[in-house]
Amino acid sequence: MFDDDADLQAFRLRYREFLHEFAPHGWRAHATTTDATLDIQRSWLRTLAAHGWAAPHWPAEYGGMDATLAEQIVMQQENSRAGAPAVTMFGMALVHAAATLLEFGSEEQRRRHLPHILQGDEIWCQGFSEPGAGSDLAALSTRAVRDGDRYIVNGQKIWSSGADRADRCLLLCRTDPDVPKHQGITFLLLDLRSPGIEIRPIVSLLGSGEFCEVFMTDVVVPVTDRVGEENEGWHICQTTLSTERGPYLLPVVNKLRDECAAMWTMAEAIGTDHAAQVAAGFHAEVAILSELIDRTLLQAAFGKSGNESSILKVYYSELSQRLTTAALEMAGLDAQLAWTEAFDLNSDTFDGSWGLSHYWSWSWTIAGGSNEIQRNIIGERVLGLPREPRPEARRS
């Protein structure tokens, strides 16, 4: 419920004009394969960059705009309004990699990567989770052994979204196995073209390969590609992870809103009070979610402590699950037909397949720290409840 002040309104109009002139039309019809979608997004990112709009949240000296949160939100709103492509495949680069480098990277690392990221020349992925380190991320066992001015890396990463098309990877490795598990982790920037790397897509329940496994055998990473000091990776990766909150949630709300509208249409067709009331109930909750996000963003902007991102995450992910469950019930057998091939899971609009939305909603309750972990965080860090007694800190 932001009311634009005059400056913000001017900003909004300026961006709206830009979109009006440059945003592509009819691109959805061409986004029939992942590669085609990638081309559309890359081309749009370059257009944005050429006009200075590509990375509003970055400092101006690296090609950003030092945009306020309110301005970023305005841009998201205008993107939705104009139906512009979202540059989701570059999200890990523009958001996570950039946030990490801007806070902990060396000047040389920033100069090396940020311009390429801005131009859509570098796609990044994340190499955090492992088969034995999911919810318990700090139990990761990929080893990086120092050898002069380089590290030799061996191990396996999993759930790395888009690794098969990525150029670089934000990598967490164990560099000291003899200290408590959180203290022996180092943050590296891995060039995915290095010898010794094998990438295999994992076929997800959607039948497509959103996630990949990354196998590393004696992979060489120069010490100059280390972020921060050795064994300080755990602290650094918290920044990478925390950037998932913020304005980047707005497309999620847009999609839920879109789904609500679709559900409303179905409910009206069904024609019972009950169906309409169910749809209205979800409409109410999406409105509340949107309000909650605005407020969380405001708090972040005004330096009041958040820790609310966990509340947000649990609420929106489960709302999405409940909503799509109810929609599948309303939609009947029609919604059981397989979806068409092309889909963009990160789209901010509903693509017409309740099945797709429903099954994908589990990625929200599991990925990025499962909702069980989020509830622990809420209990322990927000409410101050005692921690679960843990077995002696072990390293795997």
Angstrom distances, CA of residue 319 to CA of 211, 243, 268, 286, 362: 24, 21, 21, 8, 11
Give the binding range for other proteins (CB under 8 A) out of 88-96, 113-121, 182-190, 380-388: 380-388
Does residue 381 bind other proteins (CB under 8 A)?
no
Q: Count residues binding other proteins (CB under 8 A).
A: 52
Interface pick for other proteins out of 164, 213, 308, 348 (rule CB under 8 A): 308
Interface pick for other proteins out of 206, 220, 292, 342 (rule CB under 8 A): 292
CA distance 15 to 18: 5
Closest C-alpha to 72, from 1, 8, 3: 8
Positions in 2-31 near other proteins (CB under 8 A): 2
Give the binding range for other proteins (CB under 8 A) out of 141-149, 154-162, 237-245, 256-264: 256-264
Instruction: Give the bridge partners for 199, in sequence order.
Output: 214
52: left (phi over 0), alpha (psi -120 to 50) or beta: left
Interface pick for other proteins out of 273, 334, 338, 391 (rule CB under 8 A): 273
CA distance 234 to 258: 37
Does residue 150 bind other proteins (CB under 8 A)?
no
Does residue 372 bind other proteins (CB under 8 A)?
yes
Kind of pairing, strands 211-222 and 197-202? antiparallel
Task: Compute the least distance from the CB of residue 274 to other proteins, in Å.
Answer: 4
In this structure, what token pair is assigned to residue 127? 């190499």
Does residue 213 bind other proteins (CB under 8 A)?
no
Q: 380 with 310: CB under 8 angstroms?
A: no
Does residue 258 bind other proteins (CB under 8 A)?
yes
**Residue 26 amino acid letter:** G
Give the binding range for other proteins (CB under 8 A) out of 93-101, 197-205, 272-280, 352-360: 272-280
Helix (H) / strand (E) element for 143: namely strand 143-147
Residues that bind other proteins (CB under 8 A): 1-2, 257-258, 260-261, 264, 268, 272-277, 279-281, 283-285, 287-289, 291-292, 294-295, 298-299, 301-302, 304, 308, 310-311, 314-315, 372, 374-376, 378-380, 382-389
